[in-house]
Structure 1
Amino acid sequence: MKGRRRWRGEHRRFAAVLVLYTLLLLLLVPYALDYGARRGRADEEPLLRRCPSLEEALSEWGWEQRPPLDEEEEEEDEAGTAGAAGNGSAGAAGKRHIYLHATWRTGSSFLGELFNQHPDVFYLYEPMWHLWQALYPGDALSLQGALRDMLRALFRCDFSVLRLYAAPPAPRDPLAPAPPAADNLTTASIFGWRTNKVICSSPLCPAAPRTRGEIGLVDGAACEEKCPPRALRELEAECRKYPVVVIKDVRLLELGALLPLLREPGLNLRVVQLFRDPRAVHNSRLKARQALLRESVQVLRSRHRAEPRGSPRHQQQHLLLPPGLLGGGRASQPQHRAEFFLGGALEVICQAWLRDLLLARRAPGWLRRRYTQLRYEDLVREPRAELRRLLRFAGLTVPPALEDFVLNMTRGAAYSSDRPFLISARDAREAVHAWRERLSRQQVRQVEAACGEAMSILAYPLSSGDAR
């Protein structure tokens, strides 16, 4: 009897172990499958935790929605673009629109100038400057919708949108009466007009020293002297003649804001996003701190909208504070207040870069075909190769004179300039490495702490303490 009870007890224990083993298997199998999927994205998970607004940004992209063209139309569009690049007949592929997506001090003016020089391109330099000036101190995130609507109008050669934001230029004669409101805006009202190849050449400027097709920088003083202001409707007419319209700007904070334009079937929009080593960006921004102060404030004000209150990053102190600012001893000095705003804005920009990079990784095929990335360092080190790649992406030919131009612009005698916003020939090697000599070790560490995740994706190695 005792043996039978012992056998029954062992049988019950064996049955219980078998049940537990079965339950364990049922739990382990889906966990293993889920682990494999999560392991494939292991490099993204810590970044997602550092980006509390990324999931909202991902949902805004709306992956489930249809692309602007079906597969057959997309293939025809790509074939037409390739044909246009090969035989010079750009009109065969239809009008194309390129947005150069960048931030301040990344080399975007140089990149934009390459398109400004191309004879088949109608180029606009930072037209959204007018919007930011008119709506100051609106924060960068809040202004993205208005900026996108302005882009849509400008890409369609409708410059009437400028009347909402641009003030008419002051009369050259101080005794002349002021112009009546913004109805009489001219080409001289557009930001950066003195170096625009279309405005400063025939037919808008018959007396221009250079033709539109001649490659070379525009002399701004000569353009202002020889090219009288023309009505915006005349500039719109010129815009409609060109097969490619390119707009460069630095005020769009997030790539996701462009999705409605990328989906718009008749717009045929493509985006080139420019990146640069954040340490070099910070070094360059410090050189132009006063000129960038107002817009840095607008970027910094976006921090509290981009990250929920109570999140770990919201509770952190700013990583890019200049030394001694929190101590109060030097906080009252204007140069250190400016460095505070510039450093905080760079941290916001790096987080926006991180969201853009992760969004681009998850983008569907049709969207990846309309988007490309470029590092400033690659552009200045291999200027001809990168120029060919960019123009091929835009469906443009590669004029030999433009290849010579981009090479000469990256082989200048020096990098430093008293006018940091002036486009001129620079020494590419110094442009890439200048931050190593000019930033302190503490500044380098602060930038790397704030921008390390984006730097990792962009293959910018962390420093080994070789800064001052």
Structure 2
Amino acid sequence: MKGRRWRWQHRRLALLLVLYTLLLLLLVPYVQDYGARRGRGAEEAPLQPLCPSLQEALGEWGWEEEKEEEEQLPEGEGAAADGSEAGDGGKRHIYLHATWRTGSSFLGELFNQHPDVFYLYEPMWHLWQALYPADALSLQGALRDMLRSLFRCDFSVLRLYAAPPAPRDPLAPPAPGGGGANLTTAGLFGWRTNKVICSAPLCPDAPRARHEIGLIDGAACERSCPPRGLRELEAECRKYPVVVIKDVRLLELGALLPLLREPDLNLRVIQLFRDPRAVHNSRLKAKQALLRESIQVLRSRHRAEPRGLPRRQLLPAAGLGGGGIRAQQQHRAEFFLSGALEVICQAWLRDLLFSRRAPAWLRRRYTQLRYEDLVREPRAQLRRLLRFAGLRVPPAMESFVLNMTRGAAYSSDRPFLISARDAREAIHAWRERLSQEQVRQVEAACGEAMSLLSYPPSAEPGEPEGENPASRDEKGVG
């Protein structure tokens, strides 16, 4: 019995010696490394970057790597005389990068009208609806993958998202025009005004031919054009030399870099901006319709902060507090929309700084446009945009864009309806409809982006009170 106890104590002692030896082997190198780092800490301390958010963005999206690749390009490679990539002869893909209430529907309609363009209106709406309440930042990867498929005329990806939002019995038949394998053109967002869907050959009884320039009557299209399968739509997509997709749900330009690197995709990006004060005014007019997606944008705020976006105080809703239940709901909606606008303005700032550091090959594939410039100089801007896309300029389109911006009056009663209006009046409508406090809050939140976009503040130092700074010549960014 004593011999067994002695052997057990001997084994325990041996085990302790082994563990102690291992601890020493691990601890000594750590102490030496810590001492070495502490000794040279002050000597090799990294310099604080002047613009942390930009530095982090460049590193995150691999921008510096692209710059090194550009420096190794052989001489002679560059843009052609028309602004397109040298050697382009295949299919071209255009992404209209915008946000809500910037005039993006009007910009997209210009491409929808072009006879050589296959156009899709906000197909990522389906993705956001299906994955709600996921935040905007976390959805960028799925959105980019969806874009890749759609640009290649593969619409099967829509079946993953364009389904009824409520759970249903998997054994039950799919709803007419709903999601799943039976998804048709009638299940696509914005199909009633799509020139391809509402004209022959997909719609033999269409009242207007595809090559005719003019707005589609959505009600007439719905009556005359029966739903068609997605395979038929894919076949039409492959016939067109240019595919254009407009959407408002991509938060950052850098998320498109993997697509811009793909030479066979030949992607080009047009980014649309608008005066944030006008954006805020327009968003308030449609606050209930934009509430759900504003919450998704606002939820990206805390995820974006570790990536270098400066943290700001949310814009308070004007008059918050007091009032009945309906008034409190209105204030709550304005609070979410205001907070989302701050996130959007910071994303704009990142994109603007981002594009200024872009290598030459990328600058040839990217251009900027201000809504104000488009409606003030519609024909000149239309020619520039179509030239950037490698498209001809039909004379009827010049008349169309001029008529669309010279309507009788500006009305915000139906903000999502595309119609002829006095767009120049819409530029300054925010001055009459926003309070001074609302204007001040937007300028405080979006001032840096406004400065880069040449939007002057409402009252600059030294200006007489009442002068309209927006009436002065403003420099474009395109």
Q: CA deviation at 1:293?
A: 0.1
Q: Distance in 2 between matches of 1:449 and 1:169?
A: 38
1-side partners of 2:179 and 2:334: how far apart?
37
- State the AA in 2 paired with 1:138: A
| Deviation of 1:56 (Å) | 2.1
The Cα shift of 1:415 comes to 1.2
In the other structure, the counterpart of 1:220 is: 218
| Aligned-partner residue type, residue 267 of structure 2 | L
Q: 1:303 maps to which residue?
A: 301
Q: How does 1:90-169 map onto structure 2 within 5 Å?
A: 93-167=89-163
Q: What CA deviation, in whole Å up to 9, does each residue of 1:218-268 have, x standing for no partner?
A: 000000000000000000000000000000000000000000000011100
Letter of the 2:373 counterpart: D
Q: Verify the 8 A CA contact 1:53 1:307 in the aligned structure 2.
A: no
Normalising by structure 1, what TM-score?
0.81
Residue 266 of structure 1 is aligned with which of 264, 269, 274? 264
Task: Give 1:116 deviation, angstroms.
Answer: 0.2
> Which amino acid in the other structure matches residue 178 of structure 1?
A
- Superposed, 1:155-234 pairs within 5 Å as 155-167=151-163, 178-179=175-176, 182-234=180-232
CA-to-aligned-CA distance 1:105-149 (integer Å, 9 cap, x gap): 000000000000000000000000000000000000000000000
On the 8 A contact 1:81/1:92 being kept in 2, the answer is no
Opposite residue 273 of structure 1, the aligned amino acid is Q
Distance in structure 2 (CA, Å) of the matches to 1:336 and 1:69: 55
Structure 2: distance between partners of 1:428 and 1:69: 46
1:432 aligned to 2:427? Answer: yes
**What is the Cα-based RMSD across aligned positions, in Å?**
2.8
SS in 1 for 2:208: coil
Distance (whole Å) between structure 2 residues aligned to residue 277 and residue 330 of structure 1: 33
Stretches of structure 2 lacking an aligned partner (at least 5 in a row): 1-47, 167-172, 460-464, 468-478
Tell me, in whole angstroms, the C-alpha distance in 2 between the residues paired with 1:206 and 1:68. 52
Aligned residue among 253, 267, 283 for 1:255: 253
Q: Where do 1:361-440 residues align within 5 Å?
A: 361-440=356-435
Indicate if the aligned counterparts of 1:130 and 1:165 stay in contact, CA closer than 8 A.
yes
Matched residue of 1:420: which SS? Answer: coil
Normalising by the residue count of structure 2, what TM-score does the alignment of the two structures yield? 0.79
> Structure 2: which amino acid aligns with 1:251?
R
Encode CA deviations 1:203-226: one digit per residue, 9 max, x unaligned: 000000000000000000000000
Task: Write the distance in 1 (CA, Å) between the matches of 2:132 and 2:53.
Answer: 24
Q: Deviations over 1:370-418 (max 9, x none)?
A: 0000000000000000000000000000000000000000000111132
Aligned 1:312-351 pairs, distance under 5 A: 313-314=310-311, 316-318=312-314, 320-325=315-320, 333-351=328-346
CA shift in 2, pair 1:120/1:182, >3 Å: same
Q: Is the 8 A contact 1:169 1:189 kept in 2?
A: no
Contact preservation (8 Å) 1:119, 1:213: yes
Q: Does the alignment pair 1:54 with 2:49?
A: no
What SS class does the counterpart of residue 287 from structure 2 fall into?
coil
Amino acid at match of 1:437: E
User: 2:61 is aligned with what amino acid?
Assistant: W
DSSP-derived class of the 1:93 partner? coil
Return the letter of the residue paired with 1:362.
R
2:218 maps to a residue whose letter is: G
Q: Which runs of 5+ in 1 are unaligned?
A: 1-37, 39-43, 85-90, 171-175
Question: What displacement does 1:67 show?
Answer: 5.7
**Number of residues paired by the alignment?**
404
Q: Aligned AA for 2:256?
A: L
* Aligned with 2:450 (options 426, 438, 455): 455
How does 1:58-97 map onto structure 2 within 5 Å? 58-62=58-62, 63-65=64-66, 66=69, 70=73, 74-75=77-78, 78=80, 93-97=89-93
